[in-house]
Amino acid sequence: MDTTLILPEWLIISPLQLPKHRFGVCVRDNCILEVAANEELQRKYPEADVIHAAGSVCAPGFVDTHTHLYGVLAHGIPLPNAPSDFYSFLNDFWWPMVENRLTQEMICAATAVQTARLIQSGITAFYDCTEAPNTLPGVLQSQAEVVRKSGLRAILSFEATQRLSPQNGEQGLMENFDFIQACADAELLRGMMCIHTTFTCSAEFIRRAFKLAEQAGVLTHLHLSESSFEPAYCLEHFGMRPVELYDRLGVLSDKMLASQCVQLSEQEIERMALRNVRISHMPLSNCEVGGGIAPVPDYLAAGLNVGLGSDGYITDFFEVMRGAFLIHKAARQNPQVMPAWQVWYMATEGGAHLLDFELVGCLAPGFCADLQLIQPILPTPLTRDNLYEQLLLYGHASDVKAVMVNGKWLMREGSLLHLDYSDAVQQARYAAVQLWNIGNQYPSRFDQKEQTL
């Protein structure tokens, strides 16, 4: 059995505890065998491989509870005009110019570069949902081949929707169901059922998705009230808000993973807490699409399980944590909401619980050896009482120097060990050019302005 000692300056066992000074971990095969003072570990395991990580913080790997890996291809896409509201963002931009144009090759290129960037950001586990209606069938199996090469812990799903046709929606459901079955015995990779929203999926379709998920023994993911559009749509068409509709359909439960959850009423929050619904929070992308600020402090106060997600927008998870830490303080005009340890918990152990990753997100004996080594360069000292705040506020993905998943190093000394990042970037750029279809169809808004002047 392979035994490795990781001896940092600081150790985060769990954000629910204060960090420990000059404590390390003993990793045997794929698990944390023991946590103790660095000197004690060296005495107890003299034959082990030793990683001296002076000046570093050993922390649980981040868990990205919601991303769209293909979204990276839309970064910087030329637009004649910015979307005017959330539905315009979907209907005039995201659906016709991104998701409807995606091919399996584009998704694989995006997955390759994004899995590398996830590792570089200290993310060791993630949940991805792909909506690309013209890539069915087989897109998840193609994407899975790329994810396996990364060595990351992952859940993949296809965001089934009836917005193109009922037949395409059914194809999406079966894409998920078949992939879930195919991954039944995989150690690091599995599937999840996934649909879009109440305004792209019928009641019968929603019930069918949850029934298939129950049959497969998995969660069902959906986007919920990302803006004020969906609540208004449901009130107009069904006479009730989205959460009440899902409850009437009999699917509101602890088997629902709801992402975004920006525009929920107090009554909806109470109902979700009663049903133990899981929530994934994307603080930065909610700003980008103009959806609003999710009432996350209220979710936490109600006892709901909330994780953090990048949404395929900003991959650097320190930036995502900063957003969650700062935005809600401003919204509530209260610097005490969303303390740093709470945000760290959402980014690690809480996120793992959210996605049913067992024995992940904590560096205690018996847990999977999913960890990162962070080496910040700061002008002021790290202490037991300021470490969570210091790293959250001033840390960056570039501070992550090593990443381990399931006892296997994926990055050491800032270098990826199994992936060629430069090649992945080139492939992604090529895929983006194909996706953008650059030409006269999408003149630059700056060119238009110059012509007007």
Q: What is the model's pLDDT at position 268?
A: 98
Specify whether 154 is located in the same domain as 256: yes
Structural domain contains residue 102: yes
CA 197 to chain centre: 19
Structural domain contains residue 87: yes
Q: For 405-430, b where at least 16 C-beta lie within 10 A, e where not — what string? A: bbbbebbeeeebeebeeeebeebbee
Specify whether 49 is located in the same domain as 66: no
Structural domain contains residue 426: no
Domain harbouring 66, CATH code:
3.20.20.140
Specify whether 48 is located in the same domain as 74: no
The burial of 77, by beta-carbon neighbours within 10 Å (0-12 exposed, 13-18 middle, 19 or more buried), is given as middle
Q: Which residues constitute the domain of residue 54?
A: 3-61+362-416
- Indicate the angle between helix axes 166-182 and 139-150, nearest 10 degrees: 40
Specify whether 285 is located in the same domain as 155: yes
Structural domain contains residue 443: no
Specify whether 264 is located in the same domain as 305: yes
Which residues in 230-389 belong to E strands, given as ranges?
256-260, 278-281, 306-308, 371-374
Four-CA torsion 307, 376, 413, 404, nearest 10 degrees: -20
Closest by CA to 211, choosing from 185, 245, 176, is 176
Specify whether 8 is located in the same domain as 104: no
Specify whether 243 is located in the same domain as 376: no
Specify whether 141 is located in the same domain as 289: yes
Cβ neighbors of 99 (< 8 A, separation 6 or more) are 131, 132, 133
Specify whether 325 is located in the same domain as 191: yes
Structural domain tally of the chain?
2
Domain end point (choices 338, 354, 370) = 354
Q: What is the model's pLDDT at position 400?
A: 98
Specify whether 386 is located in the same domain as 260: no
Structural domain contains residue 271: yes
The burial of 64, by beta-carbon neighbours within 10 Å (0-12 exposed, 13-18 middle, 19 or more buried), is given as buried
Specify whether 117 is located in the same domain as 164: yes
Structural domain contains residue 440: no
Specify whether 193 is located in the same domain as 255: yes
Q: What is the model's pLDDT at position 438?
A: 60
Ordered per-residue pLDDT tens for the chain, 453 residues: 799 999 999 999 999 999 999 999 999 999 999 999 999 999 999 999 999 999 999 999 999 999 999 999 999 998 888 888 999 999 999 999 999 999 999 999 999 999 999 999 999 999 999 999 999 999 999 999 999 999 999 999 999 999 999 999 999 999 999 999 999 999 999 999 999 999 999 999 999 999 999 999 999 999 999 999 999 999 999 999 999 999 999 999 999 999 999 999 999 999 999 999 999 999 999 998 899 999 999 999 999 999 999 999 999 999 999 999 999 999 999 999 999 999 999 999 999 999 999 999 999 999 999 999 999 999 999 999 999 999 999 999 999 999 999 999 999 999 999 999 999 999 999 999 999 986 434 344 334 444 333
Q: Are strands 49-60 and 3-11 parallel, antiparallel or unpaired?
A: parallel
Domain harbouring 370, CATH code:
2.30.40.10
